[in-house]
Amino acid sequence: MPQRPRSGEPRRGRPERRGGSRRPARRTGSDPAAPGSMVGTELVLDIGAVAHGGSCVARTEGRVVFVRHTLPGERVRARVTDGTRTSRFLRADAVEVLDASPERRTPACPWSGPGRCGGCDWQHTSAAYGRELKTAVVAEQLRRLAGIDWTGDVEAVPGDEDGLRWRTRVELATGPDGRAGFRAHRSHDVVPVEDCVISVPQVRATGIFTERFEAGITGVDVAVSSDGSATAVLLPHRGEVPGVLESVTAGGTSLDFEVSARGFWQVHPGAAPTFVDEVLRQLAPRPGERVLDLYCGVGLFTRFLAERVGHSGAVLGIEGDERAVSDAQAALREVPQARIERSDVRRAEPLVERHLGGAADLVVLDPPRTGAGREVVQQIARLRPRAVAYVACDPSALARDLAYAADEGYALTSLRAFDAFPMTHHVECIAILVPAERG
């Protein structure tokens, strides 16, 4: 379950750095001076359905326009941010709302909006309506890419308070004036802020939003542990990165993990226990079973699964990121039935042969945003597990991989979606697959 680009997106799968180097400010997309560029052009648009990625869909002269800072049913004046007169589609920001949705509200964050912090997509509505938008996106992606009619709802994660004050880890970059901030949407520009209203109060209490950092400091990460203590790491960091203690209670068991302050951990306090509970409930691991945990990150699922299969079972976690592997190996040092290997997941079969005897009763699959892909899905199917738990942070990649799984004889039996990143377009899904003859 374990992240992503500087615009405040949550970190998934293997840790990735955002804002770790000072690069010249530039806008991605079309060059405004390029021949035929439409950047800066203003259009009056009627806003249609929500789209995957935090925008809504409008049309002009037969072309699709993906418009940020809007809600379905609104009429807005939008300014094009990317595209030319020959582009298949345009991107735009709503700079004036002419006819507002009844779901629109004043953003809790004064730094959200066109040209400002790019971390939140839905500050201009409630967390509850944001979940309705995410539900529509998940359903549309599953229907379009996998032919699956999903009738569920995106669920709030325990501890949600209308989408605010939940984020326990933030990554900021520093601007030319030495102030820390977040990237603007699809940009390297740094937007200084005085607070981040989706982060827990301890982040602001560190003083990172008011401090002026010296030349050479390109960014700062802050991690708040389960006990509420905050650790700040200046970038570039030299030497050993501090560890942060994280505690998780799930499936009737409480376990502690020491995770690097720059490593991966779920940023919503309710996410890790919710996801582990769901995976354990659905897979129902039995003593003596063999389990494969692909893209295992810091070993969260690996360790809980090892508790369930006991000393007569075996759990193999495979992860490609060096820092995550180090954290996972430390967490599992005294759990002999579990083993963590650093490897490309696509080359996991020799490791499965060596440590699990070439078979697996259960598989947990928790890839980064790009998904697992056909090769990995085929590799899993060859093991013929009795059940697979796919933990996904991108509904489009999930839907594609579910279609691949169907080709390999695995059917979807359960899918729940969770709002682990309120105020953003991100959504976490847990899908359960079994051999089709049992589905």
Q: How far apart are CA 304 and CA 298, in angstroms?
A: 12
Name the DSSP letter for residue 214: P
Query: 319 labelled as ligand-binding?
Result: yes
| Sign of the CA dihedral running 280, 225, 244, 256 | negative
3-state secondary structure of 334: coil
Sign of CA dihedral 9, 266, 362, 318: positive
Q: What is the C-alpha to C-alpha distance for residues 380 and 398, in angstroms, rounded to an integer?
A: 15
The DSSP line for 228-290 is S-EEEEEES--SPPPEEEEEEEETTEEEEEEEETTS---SSTTHHHHHHHHHHHHH---TT-E
Comparing CA positions, the residue from 144, 39, 19 lying closest to residue 83 is: 39
Does 141 carry a binding-site annotation?
Answer: no
Give start and end residues of each alpha helix (H) in 25-120: none
Q: Are 76 and 53 in contact (CB under 8 A)?
A: no
Cα–Cα dist 430/388, whole Å? 10
Diameter over CA atoms, the chain: 68
The structure tokens 């201009």 sit at 124
**In which element (H, E) is residue 356 found?**
helix 349-356
Q: Does the annotation flag 295 for ligand binding?
A: yes
Nearest Cα to 10, choosing from 238, 285, 265?
Answer: 265
Q: Nearest Cα to 227, choosing from 250, 186, 184, 256?
A: 256
Q: 378 labelled as ligand-binding? A: no
The catalytic residues are 393
Q: Which of 375, 366, 420 is nearest to 398 (CA)?
A: 366
Q: Which residues face 219 on adjacent strands?
A: 173, 235
Cα–Cα distance, 6 to 175 (Å, whole number): 13
Q: Which residues are annotated as a binding site?
A: 266, 295, 319, 366
Q: Which residues are annotated as a binding site for S-adenosyl-L-methionine?
A: 266, 295, 319, 366
